[in-house]
Structure 1
Amino acid sequence: MSDTPQPEPLLDDEQLERLDDFLASERVGEDALDLIGSHGFLVALAVAPSEAEPSAWIAELFQGEPAFGDAAEREEILGLLERLRCNAIAALEQGLLPELPFELTLDGLPAEETPIGDWCAGFMEGVFLDEPAWFEEDEEASATLLLPFMALSGLFDDEPDMAEFIGDGTRLEGLVRQLPELVLDLYLHYRVPPETPKPSPRRKKPAGRRKA
C-alpha cells in the first residue's frame, strides 16, 4: 500500500456547484475570481503564515461587494467560502492532501489555458494579499516552494528567470501531479518549526590522581 494519503475533498459536490452557480452569475463582478480561482485563493489562505481579516480576503476575492439576493444568501455564500478555507486548514493540519477540483494533467496545453493555471493564479492572489509575510522568515526557501505555483499560474511568463522553467513541459507535468503534496509541503514549512539539534552530553573529565 502507498503511504501517500488520499486527497481530502474540501467541500462536497453540491456545495461546490452552489458556489459555482453564484460565482458565475451576473450578480458577481467580471473581475471576481471564479470557482477554480477561489478554491486556489482559499487554499493559499489556509497555508498562509498570517491570517487575513475576512473583510480583506472577501473584498479581494469578489473585487467589491456582490449583489446578494438577501442577507440569507450572503451568509450562505460567505459561509461556504469560509468552510472551504477551514476544511483546508483541518486537512493540512492532519497531514492530508487537499483534493483539487480538476484533473492533475496539462494534456500538452499551456498551464494558463487550463483550470490548473486558473487555480494557481488564484493561489498566488492569496499570496499577494500579504506577500511580505510569506517571505519574511526564510525568503529563499519560500521562493523555492512557491516556484511551481508561480510557474503554473501564467502570471510570471514575462520574467526572464522563469522562461527555462516554463519551457520544460515534462517538468511542469510532474509539478501538476504533485500539486496537492506541494500545498502540504508549504503548510508544513510555515507551521512546523525546524528541529533544533539536541545538545551533546558533556563528557565527564577523568578524575585526577590525588597527590600523595
Structure 2
Amino acid sequence: MQETPYPQPLLDDDELDRLDDFLDSERVDAEALDLIGSHGLLVALAVAPRDVPASTWVGELFHGEPTFANDAERDDILGLLERLKRNAIEALEHGQLPELPFDLELEGLAAEETPIGDWCAGFMEGVFLDESAWFEGDEEGAATLLLPFMALSGLFDDEPDMAELAGDPLQAERLVQQLPELVLDIYLHYRVPPESPKPSPRKKQPAGRGGRKR
C-alpha cells in the first residue's frame, strides 16, 4: 500500500512571518489578501491550466500597489511570493503534497469562519483570474474538481448545492482532510498530459493469398 507523501512546506517559518507582517501592515490596501488568502491564490496559480502574468496576479493579491519601504523590500516580498508559487509547482511535479498554512480541522466551525475558508477563497480568486482556461473543454469535469474549494470558500452560499455540502459537518470535514490531495489531483489534471498509447506494431502480410510477393 503506497504511503501518503508527507506535505512539503512551500516557505520556511521565517519567510512566512516576513510575508505575514507585510501583508498585515498599513502599507497594504485593506482589501488585499492576507497571508492565508495569498497562499491559496498562489497554489491555484501553480496548478492552473495556463500561466497568469505576475503583473496580473500581483495587482489582484495586493488590490493595487503597496507602499514598499525601498527596492530591497519590494524585491524581498515579491520574491517570496514568486518562490511560494514556484515551490508549489516543484513539489507537485515530484508527486508531493503542499503543506497548507492551517490545521486540517474545522472543529465544529463553518469553513468560512476559519483560515480554511480564507485559503479556499484565495484559491478561487486565482481561478477567477483566468476562469475560461479552467472551464474550457470540460466544464463539468472542472466543476467537479473545484467543487470542494468552492463549497469551503463561502463564496457560493447562495447556491443550494454548495450550501448543503458546506453545511454538512461530516462532509465538510472530509473535504478539508482531502485538500492537499485535491490540489495534486488538479495539478495532474491540468499540468500533466496523459501518456499517449504506444502504437501497435504492424503485422506483416503473409505472401500468397492476400499478400503480394515480389
Q: Which category describes the TM-score, using the shorter chain as reference length? A: over 0.9
In structure 2, C-alpha distance between the alignment counterparts of 1:123 and 1:145, rounded to whole Å: 13
In structure 1, C-alpha distance between the alignment counterparts of 2:101 and 2:60, rounded to whole Å: 21
Q: Which runs of 5+ in 2 are unaligned?
A: 210-214
The correspondence of residues 1-212 of structure 1 with structure 2, limited to 5 A, is: 3-198=3-198
Question: Letter of the aligned partner of 1:74 in structure 2?
Answer: R
Q: What whole-Å deviation, never above 9, does each CA across 1:146-172 have from its counterpart, x for those lacking one?
A: 000000000001112323222221011
In structure 1, C-alpha distance between the alignment counterparts of 2:87 and 2:66, rounded to whole Å: 24
In structure 2, C-alpha distance between the alignment counterparts of 1:20 and 1:69, rounded to whole Å: 16
**Aligned-residue offset at 1:194:** 2.9
In structure 2, C-alpha distance between the alignment counterparts of 1:193 and 1:40, rounded to whole Å: 24
In structure 2, C-alpha distance between the alignment counterparts of 1:204 and 1:157, rounded to whole Å: 63
Q: Residues 151 and 166 of structure 2 are in contact (CA less than 8 Å); yes or no, is this contact kept in structure 1?
A: yes
Question: Letter of the aligned partner of 2:146 in structure 1?
Answer: L
Q: Which runs of 5+ in 1 are unaligned?
A: none
Name whichever of 61-70 and 187-196 sits farther off: 187-196
- Alignment: residue pair count: 209
Question: Letter of the aligned partner of 2:120 in structure 1?
Answer: C
**Aligned-residue offset at 1:3:** 1.5
> Percent identity among equivalent residues?
75
Q: What whole-Å deviation, never above 9, does each CA across 1:62-96 have from its counterpart, x for those lacking one?
A: 00000111111111100000000000010011110
**Aligned-residue offset at 1:206:** 7.7
CA RMSD of aligned residues (A): 1.7
**Aligned-residue offset at 1:127:** 0.3
With normalisation by structure 1, the TM-score equals 0.92
With normalisation by structure 2, the TM-score equals 0.92
In structure 1, C-alpha distance between the alignment counterparts of 2:153 and 2:136, rounded to whole Å: 22
Q: Residues 110 and 167 of structure 2 are in contact (CA less than 8 Å); yes or no, is this contact kept in structure 1?
A: no
Q: What whole-Å deviation, never above 9, does each CA across 1:37-67 have from its counterpart, x for those lacking one?
A: 0000000010111111111110000000001
The DSSP-based 3-state class of the residue aligned with 1:3 is coil
Match of 2:212 in 1: none
In structure 2, C-alpha distance between the alignment counterparts of 1:89 and 1:137, rounded to whole Å: 23
In structure 2, C-alpha distance between the alignment counterparts of 1:200 and 1:167, rounded to whole Å: 51
Q: What whole-Å deviation, never above 9, does each CA across 1:105-147 have from its counterpart, x for those lacking one?
A: 0001000000000000000000000000011132111110100
The DSSP-based 3-state class of the residue aligned with 1:67 is coil
Give the direction of change, closer, same or farther, for the CA distance of 1:203–1:2 in structure 2 (3 Å limit). closer
Question: Letter of the aligned partner of 1:179 in structure 2?
Answer: L
The DSSP-based 3-state class of the residue aligned with 1:178 is helix
